Amino acid sequence: MKIVVTGGAGFIGGNFVHYMINKYKDYKIICVDALTYAGNMETLDSVKDNPNFSFYKTDIADRKAVYEMFEKETPDIIVNFAAESHVDRSIENSEIFLKTNVMGTQVLMDACRKYGIKRYHQVSTDEVYGDLPLDRQDLFFTEKTPLHTSSPYSASKASADLLVGAYYRTYNLPVTISRCSNNYGPYHFPEKLIPLMIANALNDKKLPVYGKGKNVRDWLYVEDHCSAIDLIIHKGKVGEVYNVGGHNERTNLEVVKTILHELGKSEELIKYVTDRKGHDMRYAIDPAKIHNELGWLPTITFDKGIKNTIRWYLDNKAWWENIISGEYKNCYEKIYTNR
User: 90 with 97: CB under 8 angstroms?
Assistant: yes
**Which pairing describes strands 249-251 and 216-218: parallel, antiparallel, or unpaired?**
antiparallel
Among 3, 4, 5, 6, binds ligand NAD (CB under 6 A): 6
Task: Give CA angle at 220 (251, 14), nearest 5°.
Answer: 130
Among 34, 47, 232, 269, binds ligand NAD (CB under 6 A): 34
Q: Is 328 a catalytic residue?
A: no
Closest separation between CB of residue 281 and ligand NAD, Å?
17
How far is Cα 162 from Cα 147, in angstroms, rounded to an integer? Answer: 10
The footprint of ligand TYD on residues 108-137 (CB under 6 A) is none
User: 182 with 5: CB under 8 angstroms?
Assistant: no
DSSP, collapsed to helix, strand or coil, labels residue 9 as coil
Whole-number Cα distances in Å, 75 to 139, 221, 225, 320: 40, 28, 22, 32
Stretch that binds ligand NAD, among 29-37, 143-151, 203-211, 313-321 (CB under 6 A): 29-37
209 forms part of the interface with ligand TYD (CB under 6 A) = yes
104 forms part of the interface with ligand NAD (CB under 6 A) = yes
The amino acid that residue 134 corresponds to is L
101 forms part of the interface with ligand TYD (CB under 6 A) = no
Catalytically annotated residue among 126, 218, 224, 249 = 126
215 forms part of the interface with ligand TYD (CB under 6 A) = yes
208 forms part of the interface with ligand TYD (CB under 6 A) = yes
Nearer to ligand NAD, 265 or 335 (CB): 335
Among 12, 193, 199, 306, binds ligand NAD (CB under 6 A): 12
The one of ligand NAD, ligand TYD, none whose footprint includes residue 186, by CB under 5 to 8 A per kind, is: none
Q: Is 88 a catalytic residue?
A: no
Within the chain, residue ranges assigned H as helices are 11-23, 63-73, 87-92, 95-97, 105-115, 152-171, 193-202, 222-235, 252-263, 288-294, 302-315, 317-324, 328-336
Among 168, 189, 313, 320, binds ligand NAD (CB under 6 A): 189
Nearer to ligand NAD, 196 or 269 (CB): 196
User: 181 with 126: CB under 8 angstroms?
Assistant: yes
159 forms part of the interface with ligand NAD (CB under 6 A) = no
Dump the DSSP string for 140-196. Answer: -B-TTSPP---SHHHHHHHHHHHHHHHHHHHH---EEEEEE--EESTT--TTSHHHH
47 forms part of the interface with ligand NAD (CB under 6 A) = no
190 forms part of the interface with ligand TYD (CB under 6 A) = no
> With contacts defined by CB under 6 A, how many residues of the chain interact with ligand TYD?
12
Cite the active site residues: 126-127, 153
